[in-house]
Structure 1
């Protein structure tokens, strides 16, 4: 474990546990209280199937349909955090770079996997705007959030896509993109950006942080590589039911 810098594994919700329970948690941007009633019903209904091993086919197909992609481009994960770990362990990269400010999870996963990680620091005086030229040309894996937490900056899709290069994996963390009206500037569903890997989380907007569900959108060969690094049945039956419900078309509900 690294001790020469900030604890990248320290998560904001740790401050409100136990003796900190009277504090107001502004560090974790997840829908407060519980998931909406209709979603709780879906999750509860899935408990009748717990005797069987999870079957992710329906949820995977629903995610694919949501983004207009073939199922071969979708990988379901136990939250976006698992996706960061899979990318760090499964892909063969020499010079990964993380664009900050950003979640600490991707850099922590890369360092835990033995990588030396470069950082590109966006500046407050520039409005934390992304300049593709600031990323080293020889970086073969680049991680950037859009919109970015904690700055809330939404980078133009064209600016993010400009980071793509032959031989480079471009990881775009879109965990909060479903909070953007019309999901403008999203790259999810794009197949024309070389090396693109988009991560999505279903735990933020829907108040499901304790359930652990997210997904990866990427080229089929990348999905296959990541899938080989996963354990069998990585996503639980209740999480799969929630995923299918959250991405499927339905009337607006509270």
Structure 2
């Protein structure tokens, strides 16, 4: 692992470079840009095309109340449901308009030396740099399976952001390694947007109450197909939650999103998510095997509901273009710090869709097969 400090610059434009030579606008590039209408979507990590019927009915039932402002009582009920789900107290919960809102609020903590572990979700760095802060990047390495080395994080960092499992690598870091990053005077932000997609939520710190400075962010987007609603929550000590929430406007989360957080935190929903996680992990294993059988495709180790692929050197952009021409959207990898144009991220999808991806990849890579050494 290695560290680099990146200065703050504007993030407008397309693949614009700052004075340090770093692309800045890609920090705000996400899979929805790749997943244009009409394409088979492997770019966005949302499971399913719509929420389950019971959840749709539950949310629809709130529509008749939309003439009223979101109520404090509704927010309290949502916080109480989340608190029961993670064995915490309601004052340790902040309901968010998506976990991305939690990252947007990080500058309110007034860090002096923020660190973001990469490759990882880029919104935290975008928010911090957008507030005029210099951000130190700590890079994990493919040679070590992108495993976290807590010792690589500078000792004077007063805010550290890491995903677990990490997006886009899919690596699940041991909880002990994450805990090793905590220390007095430091806020440790753990992005657990995909934690409920793994059976039993291994290595999660969502229920950790005693770790100083811990802030865990959760999303409902992926498991419940609610990307368009924006619903999630933060977990942390009451004083930390209060600091994070200080700049928010009145009524920051709408009525439907409050109901979604409440509904998806109830025991029946948690049990349903657990069943879905078991099915998802089996589908992931089958998809990884199918993709690994394509000559020229390297499937990197991971456990999340997406796979990071590496293609032959210099062919990533061309292959991505050919996949798009074949009607398939994948997530480009070169907008993630630490990855390059030959990396692709693909979501876990049903077998018939995976078969289309495998066929399209095989076709796109066939011109370079003679350049690739196939083990005997």
- TM-score normalised by the chain length of structure 1: 0.95
Q: Deviations over 1:87-138 (max 9, x none)?
A: 12x1111110000111111100000111100101100010010010011111
* Cα shift at 1:15: 2.1
Encode CA deviations 1:62-93: one digit per residue, 9 max, x unaligned. Answer: 011111111111001100111001112x1111
- Structure-1 separation of matches of 2:106 and 2:192: 15
In structure 2, how many angstroms separate the alpha carbons of the residues matched to 1:228 and 1:118? 25
Deviation at 1:23, TM superposition (A): 2.9
Residue 32 of structure 1, aligned match among 48, 64, 67: 48
Match of 1:23 in 2: 39
Distance in 2 (alpha carbons) for counterparts of 1:53 and 1:181: 37
Corresponding residue for residue 162 of structure 1: 180
One of 77, 86, 91 as aligned partner of 2:96: 77
TM-superposed CA distance for 1:31, in Å, is 1.4
| Equivalent residue number for residue 234 of structure 1 | 252
Aligned equivalents of 2:40, 2:131: Cα separation in 1: 34
Contact map agreement 1:96 1:140 (CA 8 A) in 2: yes
Greater C-alpha radius of gyration: 2
Quote the Cα distance in structure 2 between the aligned partners of 1:156 and 1:108. 26
The CA distance in 2 between the partners of 1:57 and 1:195, in whole Å, is 23
Give the superposition deviation at 1:26.
2.2
Deviations 1:7-31 (A, max 9, x none): 21112211233xxx33333222111
- List 4+ stretches of structure 1 deviating above 3 A: 251-254
Residues paired across the two proteins, number = 250
The question of whether the paired residues in 2 share the 8 Å contact of 1:13 and 1:25 is answered with no
Decide whether the 8 Å contact of 2:35 with 2:44 is kept in 1: no
Question: Of the two structures, which has the highest relative contact order with CA contacts closer than 8 Å and spacing of 6 or more?
Answer: 1
- Name the SS of the counterpart of 2:120 in structure 1: coil
| Structure 2 residue ranges without an equivalent (≥5) | 1-9, 18-22, 277-376
1:133 matched to 2:151? The reply is: yes
Q: Deviations over 1:159-211 (max 9, x none)?
A: 10100011110000000000111111000011121110000001111000000
Q: CA deviation at 1:6?
A: 4.0
1:95-114 → structure 2 map (5 Å cutoff): 95-114=113-132
SS in 1 for 2:124: helix
